Amino acid sequence: MEKKRRKRNLISFPISTAPCDILPVMLHSGPNFCWAGFWPAALHSSLAHDIGHVVRTHCPMQWKSWKVMPDEIKIEVRGQLSTNYNLEDLDEESLAYVNRLFGERYKQWKSDLHHHFQAFDDPQVALQEGCPKELEGREDSWAWLCAHFQAPDYVNKAQVNKGNRKKKTLLHHSGSRPFSYRMDAQRRGGSKFPEIDVFGDVYVRPGNELAESLHTTMVERSQLVLQESASQLPPETPIESVDPPQDARFQILTKTLDQTLGRRPGTYCRGMGNARQREP
């Protein structure tokens, strides 16, 4: 007997109301950012939210990922945002960022649909009675997904991913807000070590002894750096007026994580998302 027969609306959020007729997409970059993003943060949040709504309500779900979807379908789906955003004539970097957001939301929605599919004991019942309300009128997408979710390659990959998630030693609680926005907020608030403060905000939670220990080590090392910098200044200089060397902040974080968790290959920096990358 299947666990659930009743159709349900998995997620339903309306597209956000724009403060003006059309919001332009703006590209933000700088020496402290190693990725293409949107500025201000409010626009990024609005765009990410609206892309999620469009993917759930208009996007055909008949491809393994957004990346392999035909370009003409992508253009049609992105066109659903034209009432609030001007996405015409985007440069290559901006288009890549918009596609990255679509890719993330497509992947998340597909994962939500997979969880819904797994709620049924019988795949045939899931196919016949489990189509979510968001896909009503697009039953061909649900039929494709039901077959896709049973394909041996997908089943094996899902099992591997499930095992990998259990092995994770650090879980962030940042939500969809990019790390770079959090770091910028810390800088505006006067933080001397924004990378370390962001790590504390998004990783440290009660009961997570590893994250707490790593953060404590980072803070202790940051104080030693401040004391070393203060020793180079007149004795009467208050510690609040001492600024650490810019590279020291990032080096403290990477050194602490590498010593405990090992260094990942490539330019990716564990604990920083896409906000900061190593030199190749």
In the 3-class helix/strand/coil scheme, how is 59-120 assigned residue by residue?
CCCCCCCCCCCCHHHHHHHHHHHCCCEECCCCCHHHHHHHHHHHHHHHHHHHHHHHHHHHCC
Per-residue pLDDT of the chain (280 residues), as tens digits, is: 444 444 434 444 445 544 333 444 443 333 333 233 434 555 666 787 788 889 999 999 999 999 999 999 999 999 998 888 888 777 888 888 889 889 988 988 998 899 899 999 999 999 999 999 989 899 999 999 999 999 999 999 888 877 766 666 666 666 666 777 788 888 888 888 888 888 888 888 887 788 888 888 888 888 888 888 888 888 888 878 888 887 888 888 888 888 777 776 666 566 565 545 556 5
In 130-208, alpha helices (H): 139-150, 152-167, 179-188, 194-203
Closest CA to 102 of 157, 36, 53, 33: 53
Write down the residue that tokens 């905000």 correspond to. 201
Residue of 193, 58, 200 lying closest to 134 (CA atoms): 58
Q: Which has the closest alpha carbon to 49: 85, 89, 90, 73?
A: 85
Environment class of residue 56 by beta-carbon count within 10 Å: exposed (0-12), middle (13-18) or buried (19+)?
Answer: buried
pTM: 0.59
DSSP helix/strand/coil, 23: strand
**Strand-pair partners of 23:** 85
